[in-house]
Structure 1
Amino acid sequence: MLAIVKIAGQQFKVKAGDSLYVPHIAGKAGDSVEFSDVLLTSNGSDVVSGAGVKAVVKAEIINDLVKGEKVIAFKMKRRKGFRKKHGHRTQYTHLKVTAIA
């Protein structure tokens, strides 16, 4: 079974047993979470989307805080001596999908 679920404003295509990185959500490693905002489900040739979807995606948090790659924003104006360097690392949560019910 395949589902498209909306997590923290982003859409993810998931199957049971998948592991994925999502924007940071509250919880500790080992906790189970449920996502009820399912946009589409597909079971073989049956495709259900829109208001007819009555599925819930259940997942387990594997690692509660994973930092992404460093992103650097550098601004500079030539001949003016203006330089500004700003960087950040986005925080993610590592999930493992246990079931789609």
Structure 2
Amino acid sequence: MYAVIKTGGKQYRVQKGDMLRVEKLNAETGSTITFDDVLLVGAGDAIKAGKDVASAQVTAVVTEEGRGQKIVVFKKRRRKNYRLTQGHRQSYTSVRIESIKE
């Protein structure tokens, strides 16, 4: 059984036992969270979507919080002596999918 959930403006296809890195969530390490925004639930050839999955939930456990690798943002305008270097590290929350309830 798998589900498609939406969190942090992105959609993820998940199954039980999957490890997933999502945008930073307000949850502590070891706590259980539920994703209520389930878009699709599938098992084999049977697929449910729309109003059929309005009550579906995906339960996950927070395993880790951290920040990703640094990304260098370099801007330049030629012949104008303009150079700007910035860096960015995106925060993430790592979760393990525990169950999918229809």
Overall identity of the aligned pairs, in %: 36
Summarize the alignment of residues 1-101 of structure 1 with structure 2, pairs less than 5 Å apart: 1-53=1-53, 54-63=55-64, 65-101=65-101
Aligned-residue CA RMSD (Å): 1.0
The residue matched to 1:69 in structure 2 has which SS?
A: coil
Point out where structure 2 has 5 or more consecutive residues left out of the alignment.
none
Q: Deviations over 1:15-73 (max 9, x none)?
A: 0110110000011110000011100000122100112113100000000x221121111
Structure 1 distance, partners of 2:91, 2:3, is: 24
How many residues are matched?
100
C-alpha displacement of 1:76: 1.3
Structure 1 runs (4+) deviating above 3 angstroms are: none
C-alpha displacement of 1:7: 1.0
Structure 1 distance, partners of 2:45, 2:88, is: 43
Q: Which has the higher strand share?
A: 1
In the superposition, the TM-score normalised over structure 2's length comes to: 0.92
